[in-house]
Amino acid sequence: MDDETRPMVPRSEWLLDPDMLFLNHGSYGAVPRVVFNEQRRLQERMERNPGEFLVHELPAALRAAANDLARFIQGSASDLAFVENATAGCNTVLASMQFSPGDEIVVTNHGYPAIRKAAQYFAARAGASVVEVAVPFPTSDPIQIINAVATRLGRRSRLAIFDHVTSPTAVVFPVRELSSICHEAGAKLLIDGAHAPGMLSLDVPTIGADWYVGNCHKWLMAPKGSGFLWASPARHAETHPLVISHGFGQGFETEFDWVGTRDPTAWLTVPAAIDFHHRSGGHLLRERNMRLARQASNLLVSRWKSERGTIDALTGSMSTVRLPMDGEVNDTRAFAIRHALREEHRIDAAVIAFNGAFWMRLSAQAYNEMNDYEHLAEAFSN
């Protein structure tokens, strides 16, 4: 086994089913035992005295957690609010904007389907429209992404929504360059960074976006329900939570920190997840996961006589490889292939129908090793 891709943390540190080969961390994440136990501890503490916890302890604890997360993404806690997930964060921005008839929301065909639907919903309500940019795939050069977007931005473009790491195709987008061309065109920019925290080394403010949303439950391995919304200071006044509550009119932090009674422990557990990430290697873990994803995809390409969806420079801890399958390509059949992979081979991996072919989207996390992908290769070799 290559020492550079050897598991950095024993799989036993997670609660994962030992009878299932888990190559799908990118979909829903997986919480390490120590982080899971910290959330349970916080939940028990809250239930011992709910009033004391929610009224007196929570405000400072939530801001402390925001401060830890802000340091991790190299931003300021005053620009950061917790939301349930990246989809909620994107909806928050869309609901906060005032669109007019004729306005355009620009997305790409690589975007997360839920966000494309949300854009369509808010556009339709205002008489605006959604412009979908076709980004080439497989993608062999970041200039392909930049040129595709540049040709579709225009004077009616009010908002652009681009993934940092695309969910269906696992392409790392050149977000700083996209930020520049969006602002040159007069469009505001929302980056959907659902997969980025814990996968990529982040400096969110320097990207130049107006808003950035991310999930902590995926590659940062925090509990489900721990997402965040970062807003540039210039966008604070116009950005409001989906639920308007007691804090309305009292500033960005106050509006988002309390919208009603809910379980805040997923957010309060983010510092424990960040600590686990650092103890597991931090940037060394991120680099190792990227190497493993690239080596694993190269292995599958060789075994299946296939192709990758991206070059190394556009690949993070997920990678896509075209499956050696013919026939009709649609989401229903993709789901059936994934189901058969689980039932017949006990392998959980994402199968995507995209651009006229089926693609295997594989993930590489601390507990994975090359032998895992050998099993995946064998599952489609006959």
Per-residue confidence (pLDDT) for residue 5, from 0 to 100: 66
On whether both 165 and 220 belong to a single domain, the answer is yes
Q: Which of 218, 249, 276 is the last residue of a domain?
A: 276
On whether both 286 and 272 belong to a single domain, the answer is no
Q: Identify the residue with better confidence: 6 or 52.
A: 52
Within a domain: 31:
no
pLDDT of 1 strictly over 60: no
Q: In terms of Cα–Cα distance, which of 207, 289, 262 is closest to 26?
A: 289
pTM (2 d.p.): 0.96
Within a domain: 26:
no
Per-residue confidence (pLDDT) for residue 197, from 0 to 100: 98
Q: Which of 247, 276, 305 is the last residue of a domain?
A: 276
Tell the residue number behind the tokens 């919903």, with chain if given.
121
Q: Which residue range forms the structural domain that includes residue 181?
A: 37-276
On whether both 297 and 173 belong to a single domain, the answer is no
Tell the residue number behind the tokens 């700083």, with chain if given.
176
pLDDT of 8 strictly over 90: no
Q: In terms of Cα–Cα distance, which of 307, 340, 346 is closest to 324?
A: 307
Within a domain: 303:
yes
Within a domain: 71:
yes
Rounded CA separation 178/146 (Å): 6
pLDDT of 41 strictly over 70: yes
Number of domains in the chain: 2
pLDDT of 107 strictly over 70: yes
Task: Kindly state the percentage of the chain with pLDDT values over 70.
Answer: 98
pLDDT of 381 strictly over 80: no
On whether both 193 and 243 belong to a single domain, the answer is yes
On whether both 233 and 328 belong to a single domain, the answer is no
| pLDDT tens per residue across span 138-163 | 999 999 999 999 999 999 999 999 99
On whether both 364 and 286 belong to a single domain, the answer is yes
On whether both 255 and 303 belong to a single domain, the answer is no
Task: Kindly state the percentage of the chain with pLDDT values over 90.
Answer: 96
Per-residue confidence (pLDDT) for residue 2, from 0 to 100: 59
Within a domain: 121:
yes
Within a domain: 123:
yes
- DSSP H or E stretch at residue 154: none
Omega before residue 136 within 30° of 0, cis: no
On whether both 86 and 118 belong to a single domain, the answer is yes
| pLDDT tens per residue across span 207-240 | 999 999 999 999 999 999 999 999 999 999 999 9
Within a domain: 27:
no
| All residues at 6 or more sequence positions from 341 whose CB lies less than 8 Å from its CB, including other chains | 347, 348, 349, 351, 379
Per-residue confidence (pLDDT) for residue 132, from 0 to 100: 97
On whether both 41 and 8 belong to a single domain, the answer is no
Arithmetic mean of pLDDT over the chain? 96
Query: Tokens in use for 142?
Result: 């970041």
| pLDDT tens per residue across span 108-138 | 999 999 999 999 999 999 999 999 999 999 9
Distances (CA, A) of 21 to 40, 64, 193, 343, 345: 26, 36, 26, 11, 9
Interior/surface letters 25-55, b for 16+ CB within 10 angstroms, e for the rest: bbeebbbbeebbebbeebbeebeeeeeebee
Within a domain: 80:
yes
On whether both 157 and 260 belong to a single domain, the answer is yes
Q: What is the CATH number of the domain that holds 293?
A: 3.90.1150.10
Number of residues in the chain: 382
Q: What is the CATH number of the domain that holds 143?
A: 3.40.640.10
Per-residue confidence (pLDDT) for residue 327, from 0 to 100: 87
On whether both 104 and 52 belong to a single domain, the answer is yes
Q: Which of 215, 243, 276 is the last residue of a domain?
A: 276
On whether both 295 and 195 belong to a single domain, the answer is no
